[in-house]
Amino acid sequence: MKRTIKFAAFVLVAAFALVLAGNSAQAQQKKAEPWPVPAEYKNMANPLAGDAASIKLGKTSYNKNCASCHGKTGLGDGPKSRTLKTSSGDFTGAEYQGQTDGEHFYKTKVGRGDMPAYDKKVPDREIWAIVNYMRTFKK
Ligand code: HEC
């Protein structure tokens, strides 16, 4: 009898541990949902040339404003990224690099969820420079 109780207790504890493990897997970061961009932004031309001057400006601003989440090289591995509910993505891959400059500009300006809006924090010209800098992450 005693043995049966011990066994039952063991099964209960094991089942509880399994439930806990399942929950923590669910609490992991989720991949970002598709993010539609209005056509007028999507087709917007970048007013800055992708030259050394704009890339330099973009790099300084990126490291100050964006690298904490998106990581120094755009891999989404900045120190703050672990605290986010949504993955901040990978700026080196085709999913990101295949988008237009206007899409990058729009998403940076308006933000969504864990991604802050930079509309009031970074001037448009500087956002375009960051867009140029982020093109250098392409693998
Ligand atoms: C607090 C963390 C954080 C900071 C700081 C941050 N981002 Fe983000 N960013 C995110 C997250 C999370 C997402 C994914 C959001 C979503 O899709 O819902 C994202 C998404 C993006 C996207 C869309 C990527 C894609 O493939 O669609 C762009 C572009 C972007 N960020 C640019 C920037 C720029 C530029 C800066 C700095 C000026 C910046 N981010 C600063 C967290 C951050």
For the cut 70, the answer to whether the pLDDT of residue 23 exceeds it is: no
Give nearest CA residue, ligand 1 atom 16: 32
Q: Ligand 1 centroid to 83 CA: how many Å?
A: 14
Residue 102 has pLDDT above 50, yes or no: yes
User: Which of the listed residues 31, 88, 104 should we mutate to test ligand 1's pocket, taking the one with most ligand atoms within 8 A of CB?
Assistant: 88
Residue of 3 and 104 predicted with greater confidence: 104
pLDDT in tens, 117-130: 999 999 999 999 99
In order of 100, 103, 107, 118, the CA distances from 38 in angstroms are 12, 9, 10, 17
Residues 73-99 pLDDT 10s: 999 999 999 999 999 999 999 999 999
Burial of 73 (0-12, 13-18, 19+ CB in 10 A): middle
